[in-house]
Chains A and B, each alone.
Chain A
Amino acid sequence: MPCYINGVEILDTYAEAFGMWGSRVIITAVNRKWAHEAAAKMTGFATSVIACRCEGGIEADLEQTPDGRPGVSVLLFAPTKDLLQHQLIDRIGQCVLTCATTACFNGLPSEEQMSVGGQLRFFGDTFQSSKLIDRRRYWRIPVMEGEFLVEDKFGVQRAVAGGNILILGSSATVALEAAELAVEAMRRTHGIILPFPGGIVRSGSKVGSRYKFLKASTNDPFCPSLRGLVSSSLPEEVNSVYEIVIDGLDIGAVEQATRVGIYAACIPGIRRIAAGNYGGNLGKFKIHLHKVLEEGTPA
């Protein structure tokens, strides 16, 4: 059955998503500006595991934090628990510990936990100390500014990465406008991040390349400039495509973000909404666009 929202065709296809390990980090600071500074640095160069080893982003501004100060929550995803632990240690160590006035807490109550503050504490060179409050240990690491407070263990859980939608527009301007609206709507969903710049990808990739040394290369069927050269997936009137990639702590959150994103992106000038997949052979999760729309409302 064809599906249309505001005259925009939603293709009967699916996004292929992958199993990952996810964690939530809460960063607090003297004000929101410094919390965001640390979060932005920590989630820098974390768009895709293809080259960044992890995917990350800012999930939300927080009204309630463990220490009562302004804070933000950050989600980080990696293919294995070990990789995730290393990324957490490296990124908190280099980007949060170093950032003025910040403190760092676990934001994921999970039975599976990994040592993060417990490794960073060694920066204290034996002068570190800890506090055990409500069965959670916090390390106090003396630094030149004063003291860095970081939680000992961070929760980790199985997660979903690589959910996506493709927005096919009649022009780059309208496609970007639709993508921005979709991102704005999707970011209200709890438990997801959009790891790419501004939440939007202009260079979706396919697996493999004509070059043997390359793991991923441009998604040529969706490149408007290659119409006529390759077997294009784009109708005549489409001149620009943006992708929005969604990583979430569970499949429900990714599906909800997909749903609200599709509804928000269906504006005049958008011709189609599609999704990226690899024939269903690589990913554990298939997020069927029609099914997602049938199962819920955009709110």
Chain B
Amino acid sequence: MTTLTLKLQPKAPLEGEAITPDNFLGKPAAAIAGLPAMHGNEPALLGDFFQVDGDGSEEIVLVGDLRRVKSIAAGMTRGTVIIQGDAGMHLGAGMRGGEIKVYGNAGDWTGAELAGGKIYIRGNAGHGLGGAYRGSRRGMNRGLIIVDGNAGNEVGAVMRRGVIAVAGNAGDFTGAFMIAGSLIVFGQMGIRAGAGLLRGSIVSLKPAELLPTYRYACTCRPDFLNLIYQKLKREGMSIPDGCATGAYKRYSGDFNRSGKGEILIYDQR
């Protein structure tokens, strides 16, 4: 296990993309401390801001208020990153494998364009969770993101595959322009959920105001949801009673596009 303890709070954003198990593997603590990290527009070293202890294994533990440390574990392909505190923007963006656990909040663009692996956030997440960067053709493409708290706007925007589960509320444009995949919000969704949805499933456990380009289909119990709930349970997420066996109102849409997507609203009756 390699432990990085924040010893100096960066004054400007610190680019933490060097902090991945792939980069740390096999390196002694001194070599890890010597890895480059841009501090604002000035070159710096990880060791300038972190106390590094450990042996360069596949497990990394980060301790401290890391809200100004960006792109932690971005692009990682294996191993585990545990963050004891809050994490900055772009956490795990583009990661392809491994696991990230955040025992705090995570900033905007967490898991953006994720291509594999798991991110579990015990607190809240910012905007663009699992989403696509501006101009990108697709967002998250495989993998799993779980948020125990709330998430910001554009959760799962242009998502292609994978599962995002938010235990709390999600902001506006949840699942906007989703291509496929599954997005579950146990709390309240903001306005314009599923705008431009091509295919895929958005599930809400609370009533939601839908765009007029959605049409009511039926009230049903989709079996695939059980698979997802079972998976989330295995990952340690608590699933509210009744939602695995309960009924859902199915709305097809967005008819501005193919109409082959769906929003499932838990039937509270």
Chain B binding surface, main DSSP class: mixed
The answer to whether A67 touches B223 (Cβ under 8 A) is yes
The answer to whether B224 touches A131 (Cβ under 8 A) is yes
With a cutoff of 8 Å between Cβ atoms, the chain A residues found around residue B218 in the complex are 146
Most interface-central of B182, B201, B223 (chain A CB within 10 A)? B223
Q: Give residues 62-97 of A contacting B (CB, 8 Å).
A: 66-69
- The closest CB in chain B to the CB of A126 belongs to B260
Q: Does chain A have a CB within 8 A of B122?
A: no
Chain A binding surface, main DSSP class: strand
With a cutoff of 8 Å between Cβ atoms, the chain A residues found around residue B201 in the complex are 131
With a cutoff of 8 Å between Cβ atoms, the chain A residues found around residue B229 in the complex are 68
Q: Does chain B have a CB within 8 A of A103?
A: yes
With a cutoff of 8 Å between Cβ atoms, the chain A residues found around residue B228 in the complex are 131, 133
In Å, the complex CA distance between A68 and B243 comes to 13
One digit per residue, 1 when the CB lies within 8 angstroms of any chain B CB and 0 when it does not, for chain A 119-133 equals 000000000010111
Q: Does chain B have a CB within 8 A of A138?
A: yes
In Å, the complex CA distance between A133 and B199 comes to 16
In Å, the complex CA distance between A140 and B199 comes to 13
Q: Does chain B have a CB within 8 A of A149?
A: yes
The answer to whether A149 touches B142 (Cβ under 8 A) is no
The answer to whether B199 touches A146 (Cβ under 8 A) is no
With a cutoff of 8 Å between Cβ atoms, the chain A residues found around residue B222 in the complex are 140, 146-147, 149
The answer to whether A67 touches B226 (Cβ under 8 A) is yes
The answer to whether A147 touches B231 (Cβ under 8 A) is no
Q: Give residues 42-92 of B contacting A (CB, 8 Å).
A: none
One digit per residue, 1 when the CB lies within 8 angstroms of any chain A CB and 0 when it does not, for chain B 202-243 equals 000000000000000010111110111111000000000000
The answer to whether B260 touches A129 (Cβ under 8 A) is yes
The distance from the CB of B195 to the nearest CB of chain A, in whole angstroms, is 20
Are A132 and B161 also in contact (CB < 8 A) when A66-B227, A67-B226, A67-B227 are? yes
> Which one, B163, B182, B220, B244, contacts A147 given CB within 8 A?
B220
Give me the interface of A with B, judged by CB distance under 8 Å: 28, 66-69, 103, 129, 131-134, 138, 140, 146-147, 149
8 extra A-B contacts, CB within 8 A, seeds A131-B227, A149-B224: A66-B230, A68-B230, A131-B224, A134-B231, A138-B227, A140-B224, A146-B221, A147-B223
